[in-house]
Amino acid sequence: MAFASARNVSAPGPGEIASAVIVALAFAVPFVSDSQLVYSLTNQILIAITASFSVYIMLRMDLMTFAVPAFMALGGYAFAIASLRGGITDTIALAALAFAVPALVALPLGVLVLRLRGVYFVLVTFVLTQILDLLLFETPGLTGGSNGLVGMPPTTLFGLTLGDNRGVLFVAAGLTLTATLITAGLTSYFRQHFAAIEENETLAQSLGLITWRYKVLGFVVAAGVAGMAGFALVNMLLTAHPTSFSPISSVNYIGYAIIGGRGSMLGPIIGSGLLVWATNMFSIQGEYSQGLFGVLIIIVVMLAKGGIVGTAAALWRRFARRDAAAPISPPASQPSMPR
């Protein structure tokens, strides 16, 4: 008799499927509303979700990244330059480019840095963002310097021009849904690898896992996903400008992921939705919102490690358990549920 057997350990879980469904709902917004405010807010939330997925991927391996604005800039400028200089307007080609350029930059960097301990990685991502910010200002020939790049023609899809507000929102929704599927695919297929690296890297290595290779893979995909957010941001603002990718904005994306909940893909989605909405509602722009996010991150880390989604899931489980007077099933590991 066989006691033990493999279970399907790399299929997407309920969190991943729900995430894709929620993001796909954004396509419905243009059909139910024509309010500029709603369009703008939806755009901002979609971009925030994509960018914080980049943070989420690295957090699967317990690695903190401050490089999201840098990779967003690479994606956004790659789009602007290809559009202005190369005359490319096809949305799919531009999206592929916005993914590939930051991913290719991340590859050698990851190979170099991710063999080191986590703390060095955090520092390098921080420095990278600072350097790239400087480079954007100092290379006006390519990036327009402090003027940025403007005048990109509207993107197209199968001959359709996506230049108006609806079109821009469709592009953002399409990019975010693609980023969601990429993130869900990566983190569920390699769930065991990432979880092992997060929890016990020494044991993982002694069982034969080449841990640095999976860290590099995660880093490369996270960079590509951030690049897609950069594309959506430049496409929304109609300009590629250094101030859109300020190093300090990395705190926002970390905030969305951690406050929303790092344990599930729903976390960055809920975190982005709530915090971007709140920022707009209370008109707290610039450094004030970052200060607020900083305080919120501290509160979450100290009091509710699972963030909004993790805490809600824990409360729900507690109630469900109390209701069930029947025999309690053992705490089966449910990897997709937030811890």
Partner 1 sequence: MIGTVSAITGSNDGELRVDGISMRFGGLKVFEDISLRLSPRDILGVIGPNGAGKTTLINVICGKLAPVAGHVFLGGTDISGRSTHTLSRMGLVRSFQQTNTFRTASVRENLSRAIRFSSGGAESWRRMDELLDRFDLAHRLDEQSDKLPYGLQKMLGLLLAYATTPKVLLLDEPAAGLEGRERTRVDDFVHHAQRDLGCAILIVEHDMDLIRRLCPRIMVLDAGRLLAEGPPDEVLSRRDVIDAYVGAVDEEDE
Applying CB under 8 A, the residues found at the interface with partner 1 are 1-7, 9, 192-193, 195-196, 199-200, 202-211, 330-333, 335, 339
Is there a contact between 111 and 216 (Cβ–Cβ < 8 Å)? Answer: yes
Phi then psi dihedrals of residue 151, to 5 deg: 90, 20
Minimum CB separation of residue 152 from partner 1 in Å reads 45
C-beta atoms surrounding 117 within 10 Å: 9
Partners of 156 in the β-ladder: 90, 161
By CB neighbour count within 10 A (0-12 exposed, 13-18 middle, 19+ buried), where does 69 fall? buried
Is there a contact between 226 and 102 (Cβ–Cβ < 8 Å)? Answer: yes
Specify the residue, 48 or 204, whose C-beta has the smaller distance to partner 1: 204
Minimum CB separation of residue 1 from partner 1 in Å reads 7
Instruction: Please state, in angstroms and as integers, the Cα–Cα distance from residue 46 to each residue in 105, 118, 185, 323, 328, following that order.
Output: 24, 29, 19, 37, 40
Phi then psi dihedrals of residue 101, to 5 deg: -60, -55
Specify the residue, 142 or 210, whose C-beta has the smaller distance to partner 1: 210
Is there a contact between 262 and 307 (Cβ–Cβ < 8 Å)? Answer: yes
C-beta atoms surrounding 88 within 10 Å: 17
Minimum CB separation of residue 16 from partner 1 in Å reads 18
Is there a contact between 214 and 205 (Cβ–Cβ < 8 Å)? Answer: no
Specify the residue, 18 or 209, whose C-beta has the smaller distance to partner 1: 209
Specify the residue, 283 or 333, whose C-beta has the smaller distance to partner 1: 333
C-alpha dihedral sign at 125, 23, 281, 309: negative
User: In the Cβ-directed half-sphere of 92, how many Cα atoms lie within 13 Å?
Assistant: 4
Helix runs in the chain, H state only: 14-24, 29-32, 36-59, 68-84, 91-113, 118-138, 140-143, 165-189, 191-199, 201-206, 211-237, 250-260, 266-281, 286-303, 307-323
Minimum CB separation of residue 114 from partner 1 in Å reads 14
Specify the residue, 2 or 325, whose C-beta has the smaller distance to partner 1: 2
Specify the residue, 191 or 241, whose C-beta has the smaller distance to partner 1: 191
Specify the residue, 72 or 196, whose C-beta has the smaller distance to partner 1: 196
Minimum CB separation of residue 333 from partner 1 in Å reads 4
Specify the residue, 138 or 199, whose C-beta has the smaller distance to partner 1: 199
